[in-house]
Amino acid sequence: MNYDLIIVGMGPVGATAANLAGQWGLKTLVLDKSDTIYQNPRAMGFDQEAMRTFDNIGLADAIEPHVMPYRASHYINHEGQPIKRIEAAKAPYALGWAPNYVFSQPPLERALRENIQFFGNVDVRLGCEVQEVSEDNGVSRVRLLCKDGSTEELTSTYVLACDGGTSAIRTRLQLQMEDLAFDEPWLVVDVLLKDGAGAGLPDTNVQYCDTERPSTFVVGPGRHRRWEFMINPGETPADIVRTESIQQLISRWLSADEYEIWRASTYRFHALILERWRVGNLLFMGDAAHMTPPFLAQGMCQGIRDAMNLIWKLALVRRGQAAPTLLDSYQVERIPHVRRTTEVAKEFGQTICERDPERARERDERLMAEMRANPGGTVRQSLIPGLVAGFIDRQAPAGELFPQPRVINCLGEENLLDRFTGQQFRVVMAESFDRPDELVAQLERRLVERTQPITLVRLTSEDPQEEHQYRELDDLLSDWMTKQGCRVLLVRPDHYVYGGARTLEEAVALFERCLEGLGV
């Protein structure tokens, strides 16, 4: 067999999956029909989970010049009145990173691709089109059309379809998408401000909930700004994408000599979820599995979560450290999360896209009343759910994201906790847990029996003296564990909490349930 894993599609999600596969030691091939990355921006926002993933890959410093924290979003009605505010969570940040970012996609994709070269177990082939994916007795076969017109067949255990919203693999299998009933035509325009221009533009993101022309303004990094305009009845994509039409639309904010048009494209914003994410050893990821309207800046984030959720599971199965049934948890975990996040984005879109004046008036009254009741606005991170089913324990904080504090280790080094522990199962013990040595002995005995790698984290308020001891700088994690009523946490490699415990007996039982769930 040629590979453990073949990834079809090398956009940001496929490239992220390839980097994770490289870290987990999977012999991997990444294929893309294009020779180069797409040079124009598409996605423009990602969140703290995605940034945590990029940092885990080792890219935080490389992409820093091309990202900046996301501004708050203000919703304005047709009279210019504020009707809704979406704010960002305040520091200290729960995951160690700013809650949301705007970014330039081409440099991010270049950084992801360049990083792959450091993994000797990951091959990349560009300019190759996948013609067919089949499976026979657990062996996946991928037939390629190569640059020179020849065909080639490669084999692997698993195949990931990361080939986008128009996924040819999904289409050939005639897999059905659940339609969440959102289908609206929009024009997306990215511009680069000229020197000295833009001083009068909003300093934050704005959703213009105007019945005549709903539109969006986003502050990008550097001189990058984006407008999105709903296409009105009677207008055609071909007409509205013309330079003169774009200049007329943007004239509300800027004159034509103050910017250069970087990209202008028309889209239909959809809300769709694939009903079946796994066909044998073929699995779907990113836009091939779901499409989310952009109003919550979660489209690419959904795909990054897919990659984080799946790759470690594939690696454990290939190592014999988990049964193949673990892969069934991928769809079980991801579909409810994607559905809820997509529904929130859809609700935001419906708020913005309302064209009926009477319903818009009712919307304004309702949202203004909500603002009076909650003058601090809605915190964006509160809208993103945890896991509700799958490979998690039975009660809270199972399924929650594991916080990431800044810590100091026994060598006096200060950093984010992930940078010390990596992506492994972690047993985290609060300082108040009074039987740490007994728990460690119990775990070590079971680890020898089950060959399951695990990392220990012991929190202390004193200067750490031993390996695996860490002192927090802001008590972020300690306070969170106290709030959750836990003294011990078992954390998955993708940073979701498997479960929590208070006593030694509960912690040992928790670990046994985890091993049972892994099927080892």
Please check whether residues 326 and 446 belong to one and the same domain.
no
Q: Which CATH number covers residue 504?
A: 3.40.30.120
Q: Which two tokens stand for residue 329?
A: 């948890």
Question: Same structural domain for residues 421 and 308?
Answer: no
Q: Which of 347, 380, 414 is the last residue of a domain?
A: 347
Q: How many helices (H) and strands (E) does the chain have?
A: 14, 27
Q: Is residue 19 situated within a structural domain?
A: yes
pLDDT confidence of residue 443 = 86
- Backbone φ, ψ for residue 169 (5° rounding): -65, -45
One domain, residues 333 and 480: no
Kindly report, residue by residue over 495-519, the tens digit of the pLDDT.
999 999 999 999 999 999 999 999 8
Per-residue confidence (pLDDT) for residue 448, from 0 to 100: 61
Question: E strand or H helix at 132, and its extent?
Answer: strand 129-136
Q: What order of strands is seen across the sheet that includes strand 100-103?
A: 45-47, 100-103, 67-69
169 class by beta-carbon count within 10 Å (0-12 exposed, 13-18 middle, 19+ buried)? buried
pLDDT in tens, 85-105: 998 888 899 999 999 999 999
Question: Are 423 and 302 members of one domain?
Answer: no
User: Are residue 55 and residue 126 in the same domain, yes or no?
Assistant: yes
Instruction: Give yes or no: residues 29 and 115 share one domain.
Output: yes
Q: How many structural domains is the chain composed of?
A: 2
240's enclosing H/E stretch is: helix 237-240
Nearest to 512 by CA among 456, 459, 451, 443: 443
**Same structural domain for residues 313 and 455?**
no
Q: What does 145-164 look like in DSSP terms, one character per residue?
A: E-TTS-EEEEEEEEEEE---
Confidence (pLDDT) at 449: 65
CA gap 413, 252 in Å, rounded: 52
Residues 338 and 411 in one domain: no
Residues 102 and 221: beta-carbon distance below 8 Å: yes
Phi, psi of 316 (to 5 degrees): -65, -40
Q: Identify the burial level of 200 via C-beta atoms within 10 angstroms of its C-beta, where 0-12 means exposed, 13-18 middle and 19 or more buried.
A: exposed
> How far is 504 from 190, CA to CA, in rounded Å?
56
Tell me whether strands 378-379 and 100-103 are parallel, antiparallel or unpaired.
unpaired
Closest to 158 measured CA to CA, from 313, 390, 364, 43: 313
Q: Is residue 477 part of a domain?
A: yes
- Please give the full DSSP string across 208-238, using - where no structure is assigned: EE-SS--EEEEE-STTEEEEEEEPPTT--HH
pTM over 0.85: yes
Number of Cβ within 10 Å of residue 210's Cβ equals 18
**pLDDT score, position 293:** 92
> Of 297, 312, 347, which residue sits at a domain end?
347
Tokens 């990392």 found at: 455
Judge contact between 111 and 105, C-beta under 8 A.
no
Q: What is the pLDDT of residue 450?
A: 64
Q: Are residues 309 and 418 in the same domain?
A: no
- Answer yes or no: is 289 within a domain: yes
Q: Based on the fold, state whether residues 322 and 419 are members of the same structural domain.
A: no
**What are the residues facing 291 on neighbouring strands?**
272
- The verdict on residue 472 lying in a domain is yes
Q: Is the peptide bond before 92 cis (omega within 30 degrees of 0)?
A: yes
Element housing 519 (H / E): none
| Residue found by looking up tokens 């325009």 in the block | 189
The tokens for 504 are 């030694």
In a domain, 495, yes or no: yes
Q: In the listed set 308, 330, 347, which residue is the last one of a domain according to the structure?
A: 347
Residue of 405, 316, 356 lying closest to 4 (CA atoms): 316
Note the pLDDT of residue 451: 67
Structural domain that includes position 116: 3-68+95-177+271-347
The pLDDT, as a whole number, for residue 38 is: 85
* 416/410 Cα distance (integer angstroms): 14
One-letter amino acid at 330 equals Y
Whether residue 506 is contained in a domain is answered as yes
Asked whether residue 276 is domain-assigned, the answer is yes
Question: What are the Cα distances from residue 173, in Å, to 9, 147, 170, 266, 276?
Answer: 17, 25, 5, 28, 11
Please give the Cα distance from 117 to 19 (Å, whole number).
Answer: 9
**Inside any domain, residue 148:** yes
Question: Which parts of the chain sit beneath pLDDT 70?
Answer: 1, 448-451
User: Is there a single domain that holds both residue 328 and residue 411?
Assistant: no
Residues present in the chain in total:
520
Shared-domain flag, residues 301 and 435: no
Q: Which residue is associated with the tokens 């296409």? A: 231
- The alpha helices in 327-386, defined as continuous H runs, are 328-353, 357-373
Find all residues with CB under 8 Å of 92, minimum gap 6, and list them. Answer: 405, 474, 476
How far apart (Å, rounded) are the C-alpha atoms in residues 49 and 387?
14
The domain spanning residue 61 has which CATH number?
A: 3.50.50.60
